[in-house]
Structure 1
Amino acid sequence: MGLYGVLNAGVSGMNAQSNRLSVVADNIQNQNTTGYKRGSAQFSSMLIDSSAGSYNAGSVNTVTRYQVGGPNNQGTLAATTSSTDLAVSGEGFFLVTDRGGTPHLTRAGNFVPDGQTGNLVNAAGMTLMGYSLANGDPKVSLNSYDGLVPVNMASLNMKATPSRTGTLQGNLPSEVPVVAGAPSPTNFSKASSVTIYDNLGRPVKIDLYFAKNATGTWQAAAYDPSTAPPTQLSATTLSFDSFGKETGTPKLTFTVPNGQPFALDLTPLSQVAGDFTVENKGIDGNKPSAVTDTEIAADGTVYAHYDDGSRFAAYRIPLATVASPNNLTPRAGNVYDISAASGSVKTGFPTLGGRGTIKQGQLEQSNVDLGNELADMIASQTGYGANSKVFQTGTEMLETLVNLKR
């Protein structure tokens, strides 16, 4: 077995160096791949039991490890001109799905809207997943992909938001004469109007009438001027103390025509000496507007900026972590799957739990160092040649042994 073992050992060594060179080739060809993590071939010996006076050569086993996790394996972040290019600064991974809907982890954040669906996809065709904020704060599953939906930019275009709340601030002058009766289009001390939006984003004008009924007491009423005669939608009483500060929490509540239930808060109003200065402090809702820009914050919130100046939070992008990222299983498309050695996936939002932050307009570069790869290539070539010499020498010795019979 001695000489045959030498031949097997030489073949094993050549295979190991060939595997190492294959890993080096992968690294070199992916030195410009966004988010690529360098692989390395690691060897472990496989020995055969030997007896006294006889030694049998063993072999070598090759294991490929990828330098995925840890601060020293973070690729350089390079700035780009695309608002949908994303990079992770930290330990987290983007959650993506392939064309078949299978979830994966990746660091490749070169996302662009898909021309057919509007979903954000990267260069490998992987779709970025996130949580929709359409119904408020999402329910995050800490150890699964439940509740995730594709981050779709097309769904944000021409979005109209109906009005639901608003607030007025300013002053009702204390010097105006008292008016008898409830405020109306024909009986008021002061008047103003606000514009709110129905379900289709159409502007709806609402007239506001204020009537001073006594010292420190006013009434306010909201009217729909589109009807003949104007229709009263809501009325309330405002009461002010001796310092002109509102003592209650008055609101005008009504349902917007072809819209949603709406509440206009009048609490910030005051009644002091001065002019009538009632103004809009803030009314939600907007008319249909086109998206002019996309903002993705460090915490993963995706905002759409519209041409009317409004901003809408549409999605929140989570990040995933595993206990041992270097033991993740690499797949085609520069993605990773969890394995028994890597541990289960843990999902959460950026800036929390050590997952890192999301950087908009940046991409993580490959962590491959070309100089190191060329050095490994030379070492592999040298090792392969040395192992071939072992095989060649063993062959010559075996030939000498066979020739003894001649």
Structure 2
Amino acid sequence: MGLFSALNSSVSGMAAQSNTLTAISQNIANSNTTGYKDVEAQFADVVSSASPTSFNGAGVTTNFAYLNSEQGGFSSTNTNTDLAVSGNGFFAVQDAAGNKFLTRDGSFTPDSSGNLVNSAGYTLLGYSLAAGAAGAVANGSAGLVPVNVGSAALTATPTTSGTFSANLPASSTPVVAPANLPSSNTAPVTYTDKTSVVTYNELGTPVTLDIYMTNTGTDGAGNPTWEMSVYNQADAASGGGFPYTNGGVPDTPLATQTLTFDPTTGALTTPSSVAIPIPNSGTGTQTLNLNIAGMTQLDAAYTPTTATVNGNAPSGVTGVSISADGTMSAVYANGATVPIFDIPLGNVPSPDSLVPISGNVWQANALSGDVVYGTPGQGGLGSLKSSTLELSTTDLATQLTNMIQAQSGYEANSKVFQTSSSLLSELVNMLK
């Protein structure tokens, strides 16, 4: 190995240690950057020629390795749109021009348009569930749109189902005259007990239903029977109750049903449910399917045990919640939650081969392989953690130790360069 080779090798060694310091400085500078992954300088020797009797080295070459597969620690926050990935995968984001990238920086907050944007200005992408779809992961990048927390508007849910159960007193006095039953809607009316339930039409308007329960004795087989009659409370007489009229015309009950009970157990035998039309705006039909299977007739006082229905009045969005599988739901003031977006994760066969771009994002390339999107928690992908941020993988103690080693390596190479330079000068002087 000649003096010129020694000079070249020492120069390449100093350059390699300079590259190491570049990587270390980048890591230290981003020690507090959300989702940052360490970059590492890796060395490989270069040999011009070698044999058992001679060796001519050309020094060292440097490659940079991006340790994108490393898992960072977690930090809890008070913002539920702050997201972290526990495991494999990256968030899909785009820049202002619509170019798509991958990132682990989940510091997302709504911008002026309601889109979730992270601290580097990249917009989170997901699949819209506005039409009630079950997600669109199969569509890959084609179905991705900006995730917008303002897309859930004021909404009302019509009442379509409910449950009503009560004990009807077996010792109550039967009403046998048809003209006196609530279904006749003629005052005076005799009934055993009454319950009112608030429902909602398709516009979210409250519609209160008056449910009358009347003991009607027994049927031909000796089974206890009751009449259930339902009216719209808005049509009640001025003092409340009968007769129910609409525009001066007497109402017919919204629903009338005969209930039959087992004379031995007091359990309801028929029917298990009642269909009740709910008055709406006139633009469509709306039916409440009321489950009454839990009704009983026992020798005890009238005791409603369950009277619940679905539906709600118009309600505004108070926030969002994000589950571990990436489902983002709008949370309404009335407590209802409605899924509005699926947030997928993207991954590539070789994450460490992704190309870094300014803003703590990465771009797929031929070495990394194509991006495949999937549901968090499935297919080897990690899960999402809401109100959490992933910390930088940089360990300052390790980086400072590496810096000292790089400094020592640089100084050693410079000594080799100085020694080789001195020997070369001696050789030149000998030839003079």
Q: TM above 0.5, one fold?
A: yes
Query: 1:60–1:289: structure 2 CA closer, same or farther, 3 Å change rule?
Result: same
- Other-structure match for 1:126: 122
Q: What is the CA-CA distance between 1:188 and the residue it aligns to?
A: 7.0
Equivalent residues in 2 for 1:358-373 (5 A)?
358-373=384-399
1:266 to 282, 291, 299: 291
1:6-405 correspondence runs (5 A): 6-50=6-50, 54-69=54-69, 73-114=70-111, 116-136=112-132, 138-141=134-137, 144-156=140-152, 158-174=154-170, 175-179=172-176, 180=178, 183=183, 185-186=185-186, 189=191, 190-210=193-213, 215=218, 216-224=224-232, 225=234, 227-228=246-247, 229=249, 230=251, 232-242=253-263, 243=265, 244-254=267-277, 256-258=279-281, 261-273=286-298, 274-278=300-304, 281-400=307-426
Q: Deviations over 1:87-125 (max 9, x none)?
A: 2233343333332333333222222121x1112221112
Percent identity over paired residues? 43
Contact 1:246/1:267 (<8 A) preserved = no
Of 274-283 and 99-108, more deviation after overlay is shown by 274-283
Is residue 172–residue 269 contact of structure 1 (8 Å, CA) maintained in 2? no
After superposition, give the CA deviation of every residue in 1:130-175 in whole Å (9 maximum; x if it has no partner). 3444444624425823434433222336433333332322234443
Once the two structures are overlaid, the 10-residue window that deviates more, 217-226 or 266-275, is 217-226
Do 2:197 and 2:307's aligned partners in 1 also have CA atoms closer than 8 Å?
Answer: no
For 1:184 and 1:65, locate their aligned partners in 2 and report how far apart those are by CA, in whole Å. Answer: 85
Q: Distance in 2 between matches of 1:330 and 1:356?
A: 21
Q: Secondary structure at 1:104's aligned position in 2?
A: strand
Q: 1:183 to 1:338 in 2, by over 3 A?
A: farther
Q: 1:324 to 1:253 in 2, by over 3 A?
A: farther
Q: Verify the 8 A CA contact 1:183 1:210 in the aligned structure 2.
A: no
Q: 1:188 to 1:20 in 2, by over 3 A?
A: farther
Q: Distance in 2 between matches of 1:325 and 1:268?
A: 57
| 8 Å Cα contact 2:183/2:253 also seen in 1 | no
Off by >6 Å, runs of 4+ in structure 1: none
For structure 2, which runs of at least 5 residues remain unmatched after alignment? 219-223, 236-245
Return the letter of the residue paired with 2:113.
T
> More displaced, 373-382 or 341-350?
341-350
Residue 398 of structure 1 deviates from its aligned partner by 4.7
> Helix, strand or coil for the counterpart of 1:376?
helix
Structure of greater Rg: 2
* Amino acid of the structure 1 residue aligned with 2:206: P
Q: Is contact 1:171-1:270 (8 Å) kept?
A: yes
Is contact 1:106–1:334 with CA below 8 Å preserved after alignment?
yes
With normalisation by structure 2, the TM-score equals 0.79
Q: Residue 365 of structure 1: CA displacement?
A: 1.4
Amino acid at match of 1:250: S
| Aligned residues between the structures | 402
SS in 1 for 2:334: coil
Instruction: Indicate conservation of the 8 Å contact 2:159/2:288, yes or no.
Output: no
Contact 1:164–1:261 (8 Å) recurs in 2: yes
TM-score (norm 1): 0.83
Asked if the contact 2:81–2:387 (Cα under 8 Å) also holds between the matched residues in 1, the reply is: yes
Q: Which runs of 5+ in 1 are unaligned?
A: none
What is the Cα deviation at residue 52 of structure 1?
6.8
Q: CA separation in 2, counterparts of 1:134 and 1:210?
A: 42
Task: Give the root-mean-square deviation of aligned CA atoms.
Answer: 3.3
